Structure 1
Amino acid sequence: MIKIMVVDDHAVVRSGLNLLLHGKHDMEVVGEAADGDEAIRLAGELNPDVVLMDLSMPHGKDGLTAAAELKQKQPDTAVLILTMHDDEEYLFRAIQAGASGYILKSAPHEELLAAIQSVAEGNAYLYPSATKRLMGEYLERLKQGENTGPFDTLSEREKEVLALVAKGYSNKEIADQLIISVKTVETHKSNVMEKLKLKTRPELVKFALKKGLLNFE
């Protein structure tokens, strides 16, 4: 019996997953959580085999932060990211956080059940187009070899945020311009600073200037 915990801030999603999994002879939902903090606490009490984790939860820890913390505390628990975000940045960060799988909420029920089974057995699971994307990124990095510098490790979105931060835009202005949330902007900024090994805004501006990112056309 695979013990599953469902983590999503939408009650209707949790109910739908419960209905889907109810009656499966080899699967059982042992708990639900509405945010990352609750997920970490309950996982410690219930010790599930698989945690179905949403990414975007407005209250408490988000899915990626919760996944990373949960894997540190319970390395034998598999985290399967179940999200609407078909985005390579989220995909790569989920893998870095220790997630065993990444699947879209739009996936057929049979695919979700197969993904749960796969990660419960200790395997990794990515939906088909994500696998292709991941392999493409890996092969591209191999091709670049030693010529890859810190700037080349940034995603296109991170480069956009880097340029706008260096130009003096506020988080809110960047969020409005890129049509993303302020929280996502803050996450991208943090990733940029970490990848480029920068500590202050002046260092970031200097780096952007060297890379020719400060044209104001």
Structure 2
Amino acid sequence: MKKISILVVDDMEAHRRRLERILKQEPDMECIGAASNGYEAVSLATQINPDIILMDIEMEHQSAGIQAAKQIHESLPHIKMIMLTVHKDDNIVFASFQSGIVDYLTKDASPFEITEAVREAYNDVSPIRPIVADKIRNEFQRLKKTEQSLMYVLQIISDLTKSELQILSLLCEGKTRREIAEIRSVEHDTIKKQISSLLKKFNAESTRQMVNGINDLKIFEIIKKIK
């Protein structure tokens, strides 16, 4: 029976040795190589062409594993990669899957979880882990909320006067009320009244809250692209 060939990638020798010991206990698996950084991982993957790569993320730099996985996936897409890391941050998880990996485990995973993940990856049946599923659900909820907020804000902006829109744009660029008054060649009190009117229309308690909300949605970037 053909054994599943595995490349282990981790900058800490103790972690590499642990994985090698775990894999050695499995009759259908063999560790055919070990790398301590992303550069070695890419080079070794090309040379030995493993079935599976167990990849750490943070090695010679914070996203070394992600960059290595991306390079390997581009040149050797048939190799299945599993991230085995301490990181649980949403952005890192999503960036990892964008690089071409098929599974994501934390380093406190049991030997059984690790070996099962290897078999599942080899057989193209890698599951969506609870940690990943939760992040996907949260991201969909965030996107839905952002979409609703975007439509709400765009509706308000479409009803603004040309003067109000310019003032709002200048506020979002970080300009102060006094600077806006100078740019528009009007009295400071006039700008103050117009900003108060904007706050009411956006139902915002402060200028900062209004500006942060609009900048988070990248409203004026969207408007510039439309124009």
Shorter-chain TM-score above 0.5 = yes
8 Å contact kept, 1:37–1:60: no
8 Å contact kept, 1:37–1:61: no
1:52 counterpart residue number? 54
Q: 2:150 and 2:125 mapped to 1: Cα distance?
A: 30
Q: 1:58 and 1:94 mapped to 2: Cα distance?
A: 16
Tell me the CA shift for residue 136 of structure 1.
Answer: 3.0
8 Å contact kept, 1:10–1:34: yes
Once the two structures are overlaid, the 10-residue window that deviates more, 113-122 or 2-11, is 113-122
SS at match of 2:136: helix
SS at match of 1:124: coil
Q: 2:84 and 2:97 mapped to 1: Cα distance?
A: 13
Q: 2:54 and 2:118 mapped to 1: Cα distance?
A: 8
8 Å contact kept, 1:56–1:62: yes
Count of aligned pairs between the two proteins: 158
Q: Are 1:97 and 2:136 counterparts?
A: no
8 Å contact kept, 1:102–1:127: yes
SS at match of 1:211: helix
- Deviation track 1:85-139 (CA, whole Å, cap 9, x = no partner) reads 1111110000111111110001122111111111111233443222222133235
1:6 counterpart residue number? 8
Where does the alignment leave 5 or more consecutive residues of structure 2 unmatched? 152-172, 175-210, 217-227
Where does the alignment leave 5 or more consecutive residues of structure 1 unmatched? 150-165, 168-206, 213-217
SS at match of 2:121: helix
State the Cα RMSD in Å.
Answer: 3.0
Q: 2:48 and 2:118 mapped to 1: Cα distance?
A: 17
- Do the aligned partners of residues 136 and 114 (structure 1) sit closer, same or farther apart at CA in structure 2, a change above 3 Å counting? same
2:132 counterpart residue number? 130
Q: 1:139 and 1:40 mapped to 2: Cα distance?
A: 36
- Do the aligned partners of residues 98 and 146 (structure 1) sit closer, same or farther apart at CA in structure 2, a change above 3 Å counting? farther
- Do the aligned partners of residues 148 and 15 (structure 1) sit closer, same or farther apart at CA in structure 2, a change above 3 Å counting? farther
Tell me the CA shift for residue 26 of structure 1.
Answer: 0.8
Q: 1:143 and 1:59 mapped to 2: Cα distance?
A: 34
1:29 counterpart residue number? 31
Letter matched to residue 215 of structure 2: K
SS at match of 2:30: strand
Normalised by the length of structure 1, the TM-score is: 0.64
- Do the aligned partners of residues 148 and 77 (structure 1) sit closer, same or farther apart at CA in structure 2, a change above 3 Å counting? farther
Which of 17, 20, 23 in structure 1 is aligned with 2:22? 20
Tell me the CA shift for residue 23 of structure 1.
Answer: 2.8
8 Å contact kept, 1:101–1:126: yes
- Do the aligned partners of residues 210 and 133 (structure 1) sit closer, same or farther apart at CA in structure 2, a change above 3 Å counting? closer
